[in-house]
Amino acid sequence: MSVETSGALSVEHIPAEVVKVLDLKTPGSRESHRNLWSNLAHLNPQDQVKFVICSRADDDWARMRCDEHGLYDRVADVLFSPSYHELPPRDLADWIVADRLPVRMQMQMHKLLWGDVPGR
């Protein structure tokens, strides 16, 4: 069982056996001010942290947050996703390979299937 959250709400009371997928908002999303950084203290080794990358600046920001909070070693997966219509997936893949990042690239499947249709 898993729960995915935007990172703006506390995950403190989610049972430890539930995998948390914490979506930390990057500056390019214009929602990074909503990140609840105290959530990082409630992550377990099986959890995941996701960043939707809008630009090279977001990639740099996400890498700095991963280093700053030791995320590569604290959670099962760090996921980088290219922002739909903002960043070509090939660019993000090239950056991940060039920087030798220990992350998984993830596509936003709902965007590929339904585009920007709200609620889908």
What is the residue range of 19's domain? Answer: 2-114
Number of alpha carbons in the 13 Å side-chain half-sphere of residue 44: 12
Domain membership flag for residue 109: yes
Q: What is the pLDDT of residues 44-84, one digit of tens each?
A: 999 999 999 999 999 999 999 999 999 999 999 999 999 99
Domain count, the chain: 1
SS (H, E, C) 55-111: CHHHHHHHHHHHHHCCHHHHCCEEEEEECCCCCCHHHHHHHHHHHCCCCEECCCHHH
User: Which has the closest alpha carbon to 2: 19, 15, 16?
Assistant: 19
pLDDT at 110: 83
Domain membership flag for residue 119: no
pLDDT at 61: 98
Domain membership flag for residue 104: yes
